[in-house]
């Protein structure tokens, strides 16, 4: 009976305290005892979760890092190929522009090989007799004259560059119209031969083809004078010419198939003779 009374009183007090928003003794004691433990566990759990998440995150970051590196590598490769294509595009555009200016049949060709010996200056292109390339046809680039065909197989042709010792091109100094022969030396320059001492030749003068030898069209750029020497008593001046075309970095050229009857300085934007392979 007493117990029931005690329980009834306790329930009444608890109800009253709950009504008043206060904790009971038991709740108070249990909470005060359990809360620090719970707090400790909570902190520990949080730390463990943090560590785990950091680890997972690091793993993810590492993976992401690798993926990004791969992406960067791929993008760099793409940029490089775009740059290369852009450069090629520019060269081809200039070749096309050149094609429009030169009023003759021509085909584009790619340089596929270079002379293995020190003694000659020649290149191999990927067009041959199947593309109507024959001996003594002129080979040019948009910068100027490259050389002439010396032999052709069905798919390839060998080009003797103007730098070769065996090369000689009939030339004119553009400013003075003095005629001469541009001869290769086997080195990185050519010599302008048979220019009389009375001719006024200056460093920087442009040398162009005269069109007289029947291979190269008239007016194509051969190079520029870089040095003029004359020793009294000699018959001719010694004139060094730097070729307009950098033959060592050449990648695309044009083979002139048609007769060299046109003046390339005459612009013919829609020349009907242009043929493409």
Partner 1 sequence: MLLRLPMSKTFLFLAWAALLFILQTSWLGPASGYRTIHIFLIFVCYLGITQEPATGLPAALLLGVLTDTFSGGSFGMFLILYLLAYLVGFSAGKKVYLQSVLYRVGAVLAMDVSFRLLLLNLLRVLEDAPVTDVTRVLPGILATALMSPVCFWVFDASLNRLEMLTHAGRAKPRARG
Q: Which is nearer to partner 1, 96 or 168 (CB)?
A: 168
**Window of 44-52, 118-126, 222-230, 255-263 that interacts with partner 1 by CB under 8 A:** 118-126
Burial class of residue 172 in the structure, from the number of CB atoms within 10 Å of its CB (0-12 exposed, 13-18 middle, 19+ buried): buried
Rounded to the nearest 5°, which phi and psi values hold at 15?
-60, -45
Q: Which of the stretches 27-35, 67-75, 113-121, 199-207 binds partner 1 when contact is defined by CB under 8 A?
A: 113-121
Q: Does residue 182 contact residue 173 with C-beta atoms inside 8 Å? A: no
Contact (CB, 8 A) for 225 and 201: yes
**Closest distance to partner 1 from the beta carbon of 116 (Å):** 5
Alpha-carbon separation of residue 95 from 12, 71, 101, 141, 203 (angstroms): 105, 35, 10, 7, 28
Does residue 115 bind partner 1 (CB under 8 A)?
yes
| Near partner 1 by CB under 8 A: residue from 139, 141, 142, 164 | 164
Residues 188-247 that bind partner 1 (CB under 8 A): 188
Q: Which of residues 251-270 bind partner 1 (CB under 8 A)?
A: none
Contact, 148 vs 161, CB < 8 A?
no
Closest to partner 1 by CB, 170 vs 183, is 183
Give 17 or 115: the residue with its C-beta nearer to partner 1.
115
CB 229 within 8 A of CB 219: no
Q: For binding to partner 1 (CB under 8 A), which residues are involved?
A: 113-122, 124, 150, 158, 160-161, 164-166, 186-188, 248
């Amino acid at each position: 009976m007493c117990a029931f009374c005690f329980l009834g009183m306790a329930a009444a007090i608890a109800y009253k305290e709950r009504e008043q928003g206060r904790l009971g003794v038991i709740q108070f004691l249990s909470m005060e005892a359990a809360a620090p433990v719970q707090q400790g566990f909570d902190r520990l759990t949080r730390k463990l979760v943090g560590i785990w998440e950091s680890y997972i995150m690091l793993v993810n970051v590492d993976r992401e890092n690798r993926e990004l590196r791969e992406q960067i590598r791929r993008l760099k490769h793409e940029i490089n190929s775009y740059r290369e294509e852009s450069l090629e595009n520019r060269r081809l555009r200039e070749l096309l522009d050149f094609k429009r200016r030169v009023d003759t049949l021509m085909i584009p060709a790619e340089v596929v090989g270079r002379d293995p010996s020190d003694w000659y200056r020649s290149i191999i292109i990927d067009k041959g007799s199947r593309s109507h390339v024959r001996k003594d046809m002129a080979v040019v680039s948009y910068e100027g004259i490259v050389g002439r065909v010396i032999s052709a197989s069905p798919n390839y042709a060998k080009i003797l560059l103007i730098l070769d010792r065996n090369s000689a091109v009939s030339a004119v100094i553009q400013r003075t119209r003095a005629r001469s022969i541009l001869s290769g030396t086997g080195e990185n320059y050519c010599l302008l031969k048979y220019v009389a001492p009375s001719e006024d030749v200056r460093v920087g003068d442009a040398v162009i083809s005269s069109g007289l030898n029947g291979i190269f069209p008239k007016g194509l750029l051969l190079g520029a004078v870089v040095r003029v020497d004359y020793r009294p008593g000699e018959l001719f001046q010694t004139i060094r010419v730097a070729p307009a075309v950098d033959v060592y970095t050449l990648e695309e050229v044009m083979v002139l198939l048609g007769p060299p009857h046109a003046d390339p300085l005459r612009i013919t934007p829609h020349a009907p003779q242009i043929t493409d392979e």
